[in-house]
Structure 1
Amino acid sequence: MTSFHPPRLLRNAHLQSILASTRLRKLRIGPRARLLQQASREVLVECADGTRLVGEYAEAQGESKGLVILIHGWEGSSQSTYMLSAGSALYQAGYSVFRLNQRDHGPSHHLNRELFNSTRLSDVLGAIEWIQAEFPHETNYLAGFSLGGNFSLRVAANIEDRKISLDQVVAVCPVLNPVNTMEALDSGWWVYEKYFVRKWKRSLKTKLKHFPELGYEKDLLTLRSLREMNHFFVPRFTQFKDAPTYLLAYAIIGDALSNLQAPCHIIAAEDDPICGAEDLPNLAKHSNLTVESTAFGGHCGYVSNFKLDSWVDQRLLELFNPT
């Protein structure tokens, strides 16, 4: 097992968090990411309940080592730098890779009238069931980043009555307790909240172009923070009465992971400024759950050197192919 020990000058949590998604890093992974994208084709995912999602599938050249489904974080997409980086590393190592866009992420805003929210686990369960039926493989893996990691772990705890096979699940810096994550965004470094407010508003505006009857255009102009946006959208566009109730509904602390049906591995950084590691002791103890806690890494950073290589990419390869 490799451990994460970045050079001293790369140990700052904010630097790690930001570097991982910079244009410089996208340029660094450019050549191998282009290979992945050239091999990928866009796929419309049609879930049994009528939900439609979209993703990108790259079939392994030659005999596949297995199918890996990757799930991005909130307001990310199949084109996010970390998705392209991990996907291209796995593809080059001989895996088939499916990069799934969640509802209202990537080019999917027109596919479903109802807005995305983080409790829509049925979307992801239905998508994985469809993907595995459409692209059957002997071995199947799932990996998610940030909110995608949260979804991945909840999937593993809710597949008992589904035609889903998972040999290994990996969650990188998953959202553990959304109440604390939202508080960290609200009271932490302003750059993070501004980033998510801007991206969420852009996504909501795109949604309105396809479904203007949703009617929140004027209200969106007055909302300035994530807290304000949650207080407006949660009671109007989800089944929850208020934001705290909604946030707790997709927390994975307590007994939420007590029914894990597949081996799950969490990679979490102790210095994560968004999904703090303080909630790790509050996870259910389960034989299918292992937690790998690193001193550094920031939020989904894990930039291992000045070449901007990703330690997580290598770690995924080790976890999916331990021999």
Structure 2
Amino acid sequence: MTLPRGKDFRPPWPLRSGHIQTMLSSSGVRRQLLPRAARTVQQGAEQVMVDGGEGVRLTGAYTAQKTQPQARGLAVLFHGWEGSVDSTYVLQTGSRLLADGWDVFRLNFRDHGDSHHLNEALFHSCRIDEIVNALADIAKRWPARPMVLAGFSLGGNFALRAALRATELNIPLRYALAVCPIIDPGEGLFSLEEEAPWFYRAYFMHKWRRSLKAKQAAFPQQQYFELAELDQDLRGLTEALVVRHTDFDSLQAYLDGYSVADSALKALQIPATILTARDDPVIPVGAFERLELPPNVELDIAQYGGHCGFIRGMDMTSFTDDYIAARFNAVVGT
């Protein structure tokens, strides 16, 4: 079976701009133009609560496939930072996998997807334990085999870290795929502040502040941040988060806590693929080129695609749908 590669993605002009790809990836325009088939994963979806361990509750949506007598397996999808199970890219990928005969589970991270009221402590990117525990709970409750996993941006980072721990925790994960994952958070934060156009920072900060205000409204007895702290830039607010809500001694220690840079993935035993684009304006490609990977991990750097875009044309569908589906199907030999 010949699998699609990043080099196969050749969008028409002007979709060869990484900025246009990135801006369209999460835009309302894209959501409006997507074909109805890209939303089928929402039909008949079961809204569920999963166990993150130590009392942590996470929400998700499970959709059983109906195209085959028996499911190919269970596909779990992780959204990006300030996304949700209903993010456009998650719905599109989930709908494609559903059509190919996969049962699909879409997981919300803590404080994502209107779940701010469920857990008093704030979300941060080093909360990998609850994601791994949630995967174990999902595998136990929906024991379709094999289990495969895909994540986008920060969700791709979580997917790679979850895959690192899956074997030791007896989670039956067979394969993981990360689209434009955060590799070196310190470098990524610097790039977003110093090199990326201002509107990316404005976009992320708007969504993050809105989420923090929703958290404060859910737990009015808490004071998560001072008003002055909410007015800080990305680095300042992240540092305030570290000081107030984590056990890390410094911002750099926190960023290192969820890094998968350099040799961090050499111990990965589960087959995996990392797909990114050379023109991603959010995550520098250099971090990918410096990765030290074992033979079972595929690194695929496309020329085009932006950050989690890979949009093929005016129908706003993404090359990543075919890419992910082909690799998941290869896991079961079809």
Q: What range is the shorter-chain TM-score in?
A: over 0.9
Match of 1:70 in 2: 77
Taking only the aligned residue pairs, the percentage that are identical comes to 39
CA contact (8 A) 1:271 1:298 kept: yes
Q: More deviation in 179-188 or 96-105?
A: 179-188
Matched residue count: 323
1:264 aligns with 2:264: no
Task: State the secondary structure of the residue aligned to 2:150.
Answer: strand
In the alignment, the residues of structure 1 paired with residue 225 and residue 185 of structure 2 have an alpha-carbon distance, to the nearest angstrom, of 26
Match of 2:319 in 1: 311
Match of 1:41 in 2: 46
Q: More deviation in 221-230 or 9-18?
A: 221-230
CA contact (8 A) 1:176 1:252 kept: yes
In the alignment, the residues of structure 2 paired with residue 34 and residue 296 of structure 1 have an alpha-carbon distance, to the nearest angstrom, of 25
Q: Deviations over 1:110-139 (max 9, x none)?
A: 111111110111011001000010001121
1:292 aligns with 2:300: yes
Structure 1 residues 220 and 197: CA distance shift in structure 2, 3 A: farther
Alignment of 1:16-165 (within 5 A): 16-61=21-66, 62-165=69-172
What TM-score do you get using the length of structure 2 for normalisation? 0.93
In the alignment, the residues of structure 1 paired with residue 305 and residue 185 of structure 2 have an alpha-carbon distance, to the nearest angstrom, of 20
Task: State the secondary structure of the residue aligned to 2:151.
Answer: strand
Deviation at 1:28, TM superposition (A): 2.9
Deviation at 1:249, TM superposition (A): 1.2
Deviation at 1:237, TM superposition (A): 0.6
CA contact (8 A) 1:53 1:127 kept: yes
Task: State the secondary structure of the residue aligned to 1:43.
Answer: strand
What TM-score do you get using the length of structure 1 for normalisation? 0.96
Deviation at 1:209, TM superposition (A): 1.4
Runs of 4+ in structure 1 over 3 Å off: none
In the alignment, the residues of structure 1 paired with residue 261 and residue 205 of structure 2 have an alpha-carbon distance, to the nearest angstrom, of 26
CA contact (8 A) 1:201 1:220 kept: no
Deviation at 1:216, TM superposition (A): 3.5
Task: State the secondary structure of the residue aligned to 1:212.
Answer: coil
Q: Deviations over 1:134-190 (max 9, x none)?
A: 001121100000000001001111123213111211000000000111112112211
Unaligned runs of 5+ in 2: none
Match of 1:203 in 2: 211
Deviation at 1:226, TM superposition (A): 0.7
In the alignment, the residues of structure 2 paired with residue 179 and residue 222 of structure 1 have an alpha-carbon distance, to the nearest angstrom, of 21
Match of 1:253 in 2: 261
Q: More deviation in 183-192 or 171-180?
A: 183-192
The one-letter amino acid of 2:321's match is D
In the alignment, the residues of structure 2 paired with residue 48 and residue 146 of structure 1 have an alpha-carbon distance, to the nearest angstrom, of 24
Q: Deviations over 1:54-75 (max 9, x none)?
A: 0011011141111000000111
In the alignment, the residues of structure 2 paired with residue 205 and residue 30 of structure 1 have an alpha-carbon distance, to the nearest angstrom, of 33
Deviation at 1:30, TM superposition (A): 4.8
Deviation at 1:287, TM superposition (A): 1.9
1:219 aligns with 2:224: no
Unaligned runs of 5+ in 1: none
In the alignment, the residues of structure 1 paired with residue 253 and residue 118 of structure 2 have an alpha-carbon distance, to the nearest angstrom, of 27
The one-letter amino acid of 2:317's match is D
Deviation at 1:294, TM superposition (A): 0.3
Task: State the secondary structure of the residue aligned to 1:9.
Answer: coil
The one-letter amino acid of 2:93's match is A
Over aligned residue pairs, what C-alpha RMSD do you find?
1.5
Q: Deviations over 1:67-90 (max 9, x none)?
A: 000000111100111111111111
Structure 1 residues 92 and 219: CA distance shift in structure 2, 3 A: same
In the alignment, the residues of structure 1 paired with residue 326 and residue 285 of structure 2 have an alpha-carbon distance, to the nearest angstrom, of 23
Match of 1:192 in 2: 200
Match of 1:278 in 2: 286
